[in-house]
Amino acid sequence: MSGRLPIDDRVGAWLESGKLAEHALAHARRGWAVFPLAPKSKVPLIGKRLGGRGCRDATREPAQIAKWWARCPQANIGIATGAPSGFFVLDVDPGHKGDKTLSALIRQHGPLPHTVVSLTGGGGRHFLFRHVTGIGNSASRLGVGLDVRGDGGYIVAPPSIHENGRIYAWDINYAPHETAIAAAPAWLLARTVRSVKAKAQAEPSENWRRLISEGMDEGGRNNAIARLAGHLLRRRVDPLVVLDLVRCWNAARCRPPLDDVELVRTVDSIAAAEMRRRNAK
């Protein structure tokens, strides 16, 4: 971690040059849904000062992202994990002996695949793996110091600034511009995938009725379309039917409707994740 110093100079450079906004847009171009966090924290800013629902408003839309960071240039970057961004995260916290727990699992099951890794401001690591339907959020289910962030969760992304002054950074050997996000190993999936039944219980019917009838404003459309497509695909609705249904809902209820290219891209991503889930059984 010593390579990140001097901290004060680095932090000042990021804030003055608008690097946080630039990187938020770069993450969105990778297909990741982003949203602002309060400066030097993990707290969703749009849930407090900018209005909204935290990671559920995460988006890949450049205009919305630019608007958020124009209002708060020092905002940290949150990325919604799971379906909206196409990956889930294994969060290793060495402060709670997560590094030792992971080492023991690797000795038992074999090494993790080559995938994107970020170094957190708190000294931990985030391992990114391709999204699989049914992976939610858990704390220490895999073992002490190992958390999982999937559907309904989020991570703090580089180059955000930790409250201790350190900058979140990509591992130089596993950065996203030169490393593909890998599929998670079978043993990891076996310990983290929730059953379809449990997922259905976690999302009451009235929530779906409300989403369908009330629609979605700009900023939350990507996430809503991903959730709706996943809900239908898990119930074995034909993918082309899902696409047409989501298109109709988008045109009738989204304000304004999401661009069709972006909509198709989102549904395709969720359909691919659903096929991986079925094939893994």
Distance CA 179, CA 81 (A): 18
- Report the alpha-carbon distance of residue 8 to residue 12 in Å, rounded: 6
Question: What does the pLDDT read at residue 13?
Answer: 45
CA pair distance 224, 240, nearest whole angstrom: 18
The pLDDT, as a whole number, for residue 280 is: 59
Pairing of strands 76-80, 154-157: antiparallel
In angstroms, what CA-CA distances link 230 with 117, 118, 234, 242, 256? 26, 27, 6, 9, 22
Confidence of residue 279 (pLDDT cuts 50, 70, 90): low
Mean pLDDT value of segment 76-81: 95
- Range of weakest confidence among 71-85, 158-172, 200-214: 200-214
pLDDT at 12: 45
How far is the C-alpha of 121 from the C-alpha of 109, rounded, in Å? Answer: 28
pLDDT digits (tens, 9 = 90+) for 6-20: 344 444 444 444 589
Residue % of the chain over a pLDDT of 90: 48
| pLDDT > 80? residue 184 | yes
Estimate to the nearest angstrom the gap between the alpha carbon of 144 and the chain centroid.
22
Whole-number Å distance between alpha carbons of 93 and 147:
8
Check pLDDT > 60 for residue 271: yes
Residues 99-141: tens digit of each pLDDT: 999 999 999 999 999 999 999 999 999 999 999 877 888 877 7
Cα gap 29→154, rounded to integer Å: 18
- Lowest average pLDDT, out of 25-39, 40-54, 69-83, 107-121, goes to 40-54
Average per-residue pLDDT in the chain? Answer: 83
Q: Would you state the pLDDT for residue 6?
A: 39
Q: Is the dihedral of CA 101, 104, 110, 114 positive or negative?
A: positive
Confidence of residue 4 (pLDDT cuts 50, 70, 90): very low
pTM of the shown model: 0.68
